[in-house]
Structure 1
Amino acid sequence: MTPRSLVFTLFGEYLRYCGRGEVPLSGLARMLAHFDVDPGTTRVVMTRLKKEGWFETERRGREASYLLSAKGRRLLDEGRGRIFRRRDGGWDRQWSMVIVKFSEQQRVARDDARKKLAWLGFGQLSPSTWMSAHPRLDEAERSLAELPLVSLDLLSCSTRSIEEDRGIAERCWDLSEVQADYARFVDDFGAVQELTGVDAFKRHVELIGEYRQFPFRDPDLPVELLPADWTGAAAHQVFTRVYADLVGAADRVVEELAGLPVERDPAPRSAS
């Protein structure tokens, strides 16, 4: 993981639950040192993330403490929900369709829209048409609101048969690479390990860092649209089991390094 990714993982999983969600730069540097990130790099990364609006600083004597901005909290709230919540109900065969158009000069905005819609679980059916098997039109509208669009149309729709639904899924997403990466994740983290202290902390961070990449790539399709040998559910079971096994020990290490108790909220576990 990059130092930037590590920072978001540490704040998203631990530091936001320490006191007011702030940590001295020295405490953050001690955590990152366990991942071979030197203090100078930590300082540079945090300065950049503050300039981008993800963090704010407060002075505590001669040292700065970092805490998440409102923008940073929204990002991590959304990410945490996508990581822990997986589809566990039936599908009503309703699609969310987003038709978004840009001018030829709006290439940067088009790329931003692609990233935002992919994060929400939309797949690209045509250059301007995106599909999701979730009811996420309102989320898509909010996500695209600040982009300079030529036009935006939001529709709920259905096909004539499940075979046509499967055809849409095959055209919107290539799940073979995601499937292979899920299988590797199960191989890497599935074996039971008795870890304590810093080893548990590092493994917990690695687990979260690896798994948090999947919501960017896996649209969490209903079972009717998934390949027969899909391992996404097995990977999620491994993630939740290992997460629960290690979180207590990881929290204790963070408390020692940050000098503050971790008082976390319950992790969301499921959603329809």
Structure 2
Amino acid sequence: MKPRSIVFDLFGDYVRYDGGEIRLRALTQLLDAFDVGESTVRVVMNRLRKEGWFDARRDGRETVYLLTDRSWRLLDEGRERIFERPSGDWDRRWSMVIYTVPESDRALREELRKDLAWLGFGSLAASTWVSPWDRLGMVEERFADKPGIRLDLLRCESTGLAKDREMVGRCWDLESLNADYEELLRSYRPRMSDYRSGRLEPRDALVERMRLTHDYRLFPFRDPGLPDELVPAGWKGAEAHELFLAAHDLLREPAEEYFRSVAGAPSQKIVTKG
């Protein structure tokens, strides 16, 4: 777990529900649980502030870090993608994005591809991405301030379910993804009894819960949340998601207890969506 990722996860699961700000001293103590030293914390937070992810203010002799509007949006979007799965009946229609980006602007093209993957699209062909869910509005909103990108957005159908499944095989490596889901289940299933029994100390529970989030949160980049008609036999995605939600909730109380003891947050339960 990189210090930068730990910071975002701490803000995403804890700090944001305690006013969106935290003293540097408390943040340093929390990262110490992950063997991240004080000097590293200072360097990371200074960098993140310069990048526009955090604001800083002085409170006496202490520095307090606050979420910016940009980071609030990032955490909101990330939480939705990690904790919620697409639901409802599929209408057998595809959302298609065909993009044009100047050949000279490779950075913009790479940003576009990463964002499309995050939104659940897969690459069907060069400059052509598809999703079985209607997310064209999300695409329009995300790239509204990117004049260098030209987008053609379509809703379309294939010639039948067999073709739909063949398209899925071209867009996503579901075999590899399913193997990684199985590995996640093998890793965390044996730990569930400890989570249920409450045997973990609060500090250990915070670390374990953060590692769980770290291990799971990359899956939404790879898993488009396909309708039941399109997932292969033996698919473990739904089971892994349910285990993640259950483990995350079981660890909530002791992890929040440790966070409150360090950050000086009120003793009431932190109310989250996940």
Common fold, TM-score beyond 0.5? yes
* Residue identity matched to 2:256: D
Q: Whole-Å Cα distance in 1 between the matches of residues 214 and 208 of structure 2? A: 10
Q: Deviations over 1:112-131 (max 9, x none)?
A: 10011011011011111110
| Alpha-carbon separation, structure 2, partners of 1:66 and 1:263 | 22
Q: Over residues 226-262 of structure 1, what are the superposed CA-to-partner deviations in whole Å (9 max), with x where a residue is unaligned?
A: 1111111111111111111110110010001111136
Rounded Cα–Cα distance in structure 1 between residues aligned with 2:74 and 2:255: 22
Measured in 2, the distance between the counterparts of 1:265 and 1:162 equals 42
C-alpha distance in 2, partners of 1:41/1:178? 33
Alpha-carbon distance between aligned partners in 1 of 2:84 and 2:149, rounded to the nearest angstrom: 34
**1:150, distance to aligned residue in structure 2 (A):** 5.3
Do the aligned partners of residues 56 and 255 (structure 1) sit closer, same or farther apart at CA in structure 2, a change above 3 Å counting? same
SS for the counterpart of 1:237 is: helix
- Cα contact 1:17–1:263 (8 A) shared by 2: no
Return the match for 1:251 from 240, 256, 259. Answer: 256
Question: 1:219 aligned to 2:245?
Answer: no
- With normalisation by structure 2, the TM-score equals 0.94
Q: Name the amino acid aligned to 1:224.
A: E
Residue equivalent to 1:124? 123
Letter in 1 for 2:254: A
Q: Does residue 1:176 correspond to 2:175, yes or no? A: yes
| Equivalent residue, structure 2, for 1:39 | 38
Q: Indicate the structure whose relative CO is greater, using CA pairs within 8 Å and at least 6 residues apart.
A: 1
Total equivalences in the alignment: 267
Partner of 1:265: 271
CA distance in 2, matches of 1:263, 1:11: 16
User: Structure 1 residue 210 and structure 2 residue 209: aligned?
Assistant: no
Q: Residues 24 and 64 of structure 1 are in contact (CA less than 8 Å); yes or no, is this contact kept in structure 2?
A: yes
Instruction: Could you list the structure 1 runs, at least 4 aligned residues long, displaced by more than 4 angstroms after superposition.
Output: none
Q: How does 1:30-109 map to 2 (within 5 A)?
A: 30-109=29-108
RMSD (Å), alpha carbons: 1.3
Q: Report the counterpart of residue 199 of structure 1 in structure 2.
A: 204
- Which consecutive residues of structure 2, in runs of 5 or more, have no partner in the other structure? none
Name the CA distance, whole Å, in 2 between partners of 1:181 and 1:26: 37
Could you say which residue in structure 2 is the equivalent of 1:4? 4
> Which stretch of structure 1 is more off in the superposition, 77-86 or 190-199?
190-199
Q: Give the fraction of aligned pairs with identical amino acids, expressed as a percent.
A: 47
Measure, in 1, the Cα distance between the counterparts of 2:272 and 2:62: 31
Q: Which runs of 5+ in 1 are unaligned?
A: none
Q: Could you state the TM-score of these two structures normalised by the residue count of structure 1?
A: 0.94
